[in-house]
Chain A
Amino acid sequence: MEPLLTINNLSIKYKEKKGFALKNICFTLYEGEILGIVGESGSGKTTLAYSVLNILPKETHIEGEIIFGKNNLFTLGERDLDNIRGKEIGVVFQEPKAAFNPVLSIGYQFIEFLKSKLRIKKRSDCFKKIEKLFSKVGLNDTERILKSYPHQLSGGQLQRTMIAMALSTNPRLLIADEPTSSLDVTIESQIINLLMRLQKELDLTVLFITHNLALIEILCNQVLVLYEGEIREQTTKDLLFHSPKDIYTKKLIDSFRKIT
């Protein structure tokens, strides 16, 4: 297996904050793997996702390197980055309602995305592509959804659209940043199973960020436990649940067992 994403000694400090948001993060993600990143709110999970996309605020203090494929993401120019963001790295964010522009229709946003990333020129070609993608993620009436504005769709529908958009460019890496934490259980279950199926079909490499250990249990092969910006434990899923080494991890698993 080839390493797809390698992070070396990554430390990040936001301009106005005192401590480091991330401290000395090192890990490697191999092709075809699902790596789960678990931690409480404020542990730096989302900062990690943002740094892989290199969309941190301008004056952030960054140390270390992130190597994606053969490129160091921090030294690339804006134009090369644009070819990677959203194209080679697909993203599904936490809050589907906030991920879309509320004053533009879904169709406009989707077609805009396809035009800029895939250079598809004809509207009808875009439409065909979207229809194919939608059937993959279980959305049936393409036309109605494309005409709708984000507030007219449910969270589940928006998240499916989001996934379809992220997968439209055949990304090499998919970052899913708590993709289901704002959805309710039935929809969550559907979306998770959808992601699992798509991962197998397309042989995707996934960086799955969550605070929900139950999802780690069913989705991931490798797990990384983050706490206050540091990696507390890095292990396989089975070892994490059966013999956690770190005290914090043990506590986390204990509290998880209490409510399940």
Chain B
Amino acid sequence: MEILRTDKLVKHFKVKKRIVKALDGIDIFVKEKQTTALVGESGCGKTTLAKTILGFYNADSGKIFLRGKDITNVVKNRKFIQDNIQIVFQDPFLSFDPRYTTFSTLYETLKIIRRVPKEKGRGIIIDILNKVGFKEDVLSRFPHQLSGGQLQRISIGRALLRNPKIVILDEPTSNLDVSTTVRIIELLDRLQEDHSLSYLFISHNLKLIKNISHYIFVMYYGKIVEYGPKECIWKNPLHPYTKLLIEASEYKIKDVSLKEKEDTEGCLFKNRCLLRSKKCDIEPERKEVERGHFVYCHFV
């Protein structure tokens, strides 16, 4: 069942008289108790999508549905959104107040949810910290005394304090090294089982996503270009951009020159595409290639 769905979500930003189409008609969905991955290179709008879903930005048009309820109006639905969706940000050093101990950070979050006296709050916080693999001694530590991986685990704990249904993971491991990444991924796996969580996993690393996701959306400059179940995307990538990403994750791109993305009509990817032809000036339509596997490209 779909727990979260966006319907033609649009968000444009004005930067120095130019319009940046961060989201340009995005349809994605997150299924219950599954991990949905969103891939794309930096600047393609992944984080904007996360922030729009959370209500940090108001969408220009389009709708967002959470458990069947329209939550596009952020102001009216703020509590409902916060109760259901929480987020873990990319840079753990930026997502904590450097002057707060772990306890004060988490207690602050707890106070927003409900009024609890300090002693009782302490119990709840220790419970959560145990779940993410900490002992009591971490309560009095400051962010600079903890490593990136430890902070990221506390971040996950903080997201769980509110018992959300969905956790958005915005590149949670891109600042961490290999062994820490594995530890975090295993922790996320376990928590998904225990708390029946749904994840929206944002990343630029296809290899990582291959191991953890059930469903993949590939995004390119404000648009979804291909989506489908993980096996389909991995075994049978059809959009040239998806193929490029897979090649990149194996370090096979030999092309050394940089091609910049320009504002174009029609298919956005055409400037970097080898298959380019006249057809590409028209925007490609969605085609279903296998069950549940969709692609936006003229050559499929």
A-B residue pairs in contact (CB < 8 Å), sample of 18: A40-B179, A41-B180, A137-B256, A160-B258, A185-B204, A186-B248, A187-B258, A189-B248, A190-B258, A193-B251, A193-B254, A194-B256, A212-B177, A214-B251, A252-B178, A258-B185, A259-B211, A260-B207
Provide the residues of chain A in CB contact with B42, threshold 8 Å. Answer: 155, 184
Chain A hits for B244, CB < 8 A:
186
Residues of B participating in the A interface, judged by any CB pair closer than 8 Å: 41-42, 147-148, 176-182, 185, 204-208, 211, 244-245, 247-249, 251-258
- Of B177, B206, B249, chain A has the most CB atoms within 10 Å of the CB of B177
Decide if A138 touches B41 in the complex (CB within 8 Å).
no
Does A147 touch B at the CB level, under 8 Å? no
Seen from chain A, the residues whose Cβ lies within 8 Å of a Cβ on chain B are: 40-42, 137-140, 154-157, 160, 184-190, 192-194, 197, 211-215, 218, 251-252, 255-256, 258-260
**Interchain CB contact under 8 A, B258 and A138:** yes
Q: Indicate which residue in B147, B178, B257 contacts A140 across the interface (CB closer than 8 Å).
A: B257
The 8 Å CB contact of B251, one of A40, A211, A215, is A215
How far is B259's CA from A140's CA once the two chains are assembled, in angstroms? 10
Q: Is the CB of A213 within 8 A of B178?
A: yes
Q: Are B245 and A186 in contact (CB under 8 A)?
A: yes
Task: Among A185, A212, A258, point to the contact of B182 (Cβ < 8 A).
Answer: A258
Complex CA–CA separation, A140 to B260 (angstroms): 11
* B258-A157 in contact (CB<8A): yes
**Contact flag A139-B247 (CB < 8 Å), given A41-B177, A259-B182:** no
A256 contacts B178, CB within 8 Å?
yes
The reply to whether B258 and A193 contact each other, CB–CB distance below 8 Å, is no
List residues of chain A with CB within 8 A of the CB of B178. Answer: 40, 211-213, 252, 255-256, 259
Closest 9 CB pairs of A and B: A138-B256, A211-B177, A255-B182, A189-B253, A189-B248, A185-B248, A138-B257, A186-B248, A184-B204
Q: How far is the CA of A42 from the CA of B257 in the complex (A)?
A: 34
- Let me know if B253 and A40 touch, CB within 8 A: no
Query: Measured between alpha carbons, how far is A188 from B41 in the docked complex, in Å?
Result: 11
Q: Which residues of B contact A137 (CB under 8 A)?
A: 256
Given A184-B41, A184-B42, A186-B248, verify A139-B206 contact (CB < 8 Å). Answer: no
Complex Cα distance, B42 from A242, in Å, reads: 34
Shortest beta-carbon distance from A54 to chain B in Å: 26
Q: A189-B252, A212-B178 are in contact. List 18 more A-B contacts (CB 8 A).
A: A139-B258, A157-B258, A185-B41, A185-B204, A185-B245, A185-B248, A185-B249, A186-B248, A187-B41, A189-B249, A189-B251, A190-B253, A190-B258, A193-B253, A214-B251, A258-B182, A259-B182, A259-B185
